[in-house]
Structure 1
Amino acid sequence: MKLRKICKIIIYLFIITIAAILLIDRWISHKTSPYIYTSIDDLPKRSIGVVLGTAKYVRTGVLNQFYTYRIQGAIDLYQSYKVDHLLLSGDNALRSYNEPITMQRDLLKAKIPLSAIHLDFAGFRTLDSVIRANRVFDANEFTIITQEFHCERAIFIALSQGIQAQCYAVPSPSEMKMVRVREILARIGAFLDVYILNKEPKFLGPMLPIIQEDNLTEPSQKVESLSNNSSSAPAETSNR
């Protein structure tokens, strides 16, 4: 009898936990939807676009579509005069794995001028990328560039910090089931980071305003000293 009661309590706690997880997931989607755009024509202009990093290739060596869509989205926004500067924020775990440098190379190939490109080597997580864009690169109103599901988490973090960000949602690959599951868990982590743990970025450092760097040849190199401080492993998908 006692065992049955314990089992019931465990089942009830499990149901409550699952319900709470799903509720937080839906609440984040609802809270952030007014700040997410899928059409370039509808997207308000901002001086700075923040591209959230991911690996260019998955572990099998296949080109990562999450990466491809984000880079193309950044190119489209710049060429449509929706942003003047692109802040490339990502991980740089190894000398051979450097998300910001990889993104920069592909943008330069697309004829985006070096003067419009800025690198953040300490964007280890979405939280780091969003908060550093504000506190390190002095951007308060900016456009985040990533997939829609990722937009929701990024905007949620921005809103919690009083940052006036919006997001341009680029297309997602067709296979999204496992990514969606990981995203739900990532949102729970973001919720805990924001409301319980008061998580801060791994690195902050001195202020490096992007807008005041217009006349510098390579402004993004100011933060290159951070590129050797990372010990995290490369991500296979976008759900960092």
Structure 2
Amino acid sequence: MLQRLFKILGTLVLVLILVIVTCNLVIKNTAKGKTFYDTSKIPKNRVGLVLGTSNRITDGSSNPYYMYRIEATIALYNAGKIEFILVSGDNGSIYYNEPNTIKKDLVNAGIPEKVIFLDYAGFRTLDSMVRAKFIFGLDKVTVISQEFHNERAIYIAKQKGLDAIGFNAQDLSTTQGFKVQLREYFARVKVFIDVLFNTQPKFYGAKIEIK
């Protein structure tokens, strides 16, 4: 009986590993050739979409993922590879507002306030990509985040009819970013579940024109 139980558990683990590996490969292959580190090589798009994250981590110190996304956005805008910036993030409470925080830092860095648009309902990457297409009316977009995040966003965008490329912010080493990178594998499996069940954003709302 115990031997049979171990055999079943072993089979389930192997299936889970196969699912994780398959989802990861499909997403990486979909994004192949569509993410860039060099501003001189990335094609120009009218709008850059910054995917939000907290500017602080749990111990209260600065979040390097946030800092690197801000730096990447500034570099892309200053290189003339985007004209407008759409900031999409979580606005879950009066005490937590990713879009406003990002906007403030971008403006402080010299980016004109008039070119920055905010999506307060980007609770998940799926929400951000779908809303970019259907609320902000975008057909093409440059996603700004770390490469692993850009790859997932590009896959979601393709499923929703949005032509996306990614500008990769600096990442952390495997040791520093282990928890985030591990979580990413499961997030990629969740993408396929969302696609299968046609998961929708938490909110839609009135359309907003970026101009």
Using the size of structure 2 for normalisation, the TM-score is 0.95
Partner of 1:207: 207
What does 1:157-236 align with in structure 2 at a 5 Å threshold?
157-174=156-173, 175-194=176-195, 196-211=196-211
Q: Deviations over 1:102-161 (max 9, x none)?
A: 011101101111110001000000000111011000111010000001011101100111
In the alignment, the residues of structure 2 paired with residue 59 and residue 72 of structure 1 have an alpha-carbon distance, to the nearest angstrom, of 22
In the alignment, the residues of structure 2 paired with residue 126 and residue 26 of structure 1 have an alpha-carbon distance, to the nearest angstrom, of 19
**91-100 vs 136-145, which moves further:** 91-100
Instruction: Give every structure 1 segment of 4 or more consecutive aligned residues whose post-TM-superposition deviation is greater than 2 Å.
Output: 2-7
Q: Deviations over 1:37-91 (max 9, x none)?
A: 1111110000000000000111211111100011111111111110000001000
Partner of 2:92: 93
Which amino acid in structure 1 is aligned with residue 90 of structure 2? D
In the alignment, the residues of structure 2 paired with residue 27 and residue 165 of structure 1 have an alpha-carbon distance, to the nearest angstrom, of 16
Gaps of 5+ in 2: none
Partner of 1:111: 110
What does 1:61-140 align with in structure 2 at a 5 Å threshold?
61-140=60-139
Q: How many residues align?
A: 209
In the alignment, the residues of structure 1 paired with residue 23 and residue 69 of structure 2 have an alpha-carbon distance, to the nearest angstrom, of 26
Which amino acid in structure 2 is aligned with residue 154 of structure 1? A
Partner of 2:59: 60
Retained in 1: the 8 A contact 2:48–2:84? yes
Quote the offset at 1:95 in angstroms: 1.4
Retained in 1: the 8 A contact 2:19–2:189? no
Q: The residue matched to 2:32 in structure 1 has which SS?
A: helix
**20-29 vs 75-84, which moves further:** 20-29
Gaps of 5+ in 1: 212-240
RMSD over aligned Cα atoms: 1.2
**172-181 vs 7-16, which moves further:** 7-16
Which amino acid in structure 2 is aligned with residue 52 of structure 1? L
Using the size of structure 1 for normalisation, the TM-score is 0.84
In the alignment, the residues of structure 2 paired with residue 103 and residue 7 of structure 1 have an alpha-carbon distance, to the nearest angstrom, of 49
- What percent of counterpart residues are identical? 39
Q: The residue matched to 1:34 in structure 2 has which SS?
A: coil
In the alignment, the residues of structure 1 paired with residue 15 and residue 87 of structure 2 have an alpha-carbon distance, to the nearest angstrom, of 39
1:44 aligned to 2:16?
no
Which amino acid in structure 2 is aligned with residue 120 of structure 1? D
Q: The residue matched to 2:205 in structure 1 has which SS?
A: coil
